[in-house]
Amino acid sequence: GVHDSRMGGGPPRSGDAANESMKLTQITQNPMTGQLDIRQIQPNTTMFPSATSTLPQRQQISNTVFRPHWNLPTMSLSELAERERAEAIQRGEAQKIAEEQAKFQPRRYEQLVRDGMEDDEKLVEASAKLDRDWDDWKEANPRGSGN
């Protein structure tokens, strides 16, 4: 018959390489029987990437190897300034709301006098209870008794 150089394991001829895809022979041995299992499989591009698909991978590897040893900035100074400004405005608004809500919460009587709110009866009663509870706790837990 006619002898084909590719069958004997020789290199493919230059014209046939583009027309015929590469095949891979996988040989495994069954551990129980010892019998060889020979299969021809079609390799995927992850096993043998083509020259065109390795360029992005090479570029990616070189980008990770040849880079500065310090962390590079992830945003510009103007972006950082805008973010900080927005957060400062948000914190200021939240603090104003918290101060307004805290104004009507019970607190020590001295603080009520300082704020000029000693005329509010409900707030004075709640503050007196708060002061009594604090005094009771201080009597039950004298200084230095914890350790």
> 3-state SS of the chain: helix, strand, coil percent to 5?
45, 10, 45
Residue 66 region by backbone torsions, left for phi larger than 0, else alpha for psi between -120 and 50, else beta: beta
Q: What are phi and psi of 135, to 5 degrees?
A: -65, -40
Tens digits of pLDDT across the chain (147 residues): 444 444 455 555 555 554 456 777 888 888 888 888 888 877 665 555 555 556 788 888 887 787 778 888 899 999 999 999 999 999 999 999 998 888 778 788 788 888 787 777 888 888 889 889 999 999 988 888 776
pLDDT reported for residue 52: 55
pLDDT reported for residue 133: 92
pLDDT in tens, 75-111: 999 999 999 999 999 999 999 999 888 877 878 878 8
pLDDT reported for residue 87: 97
pLDDT reported for residue 79: 96
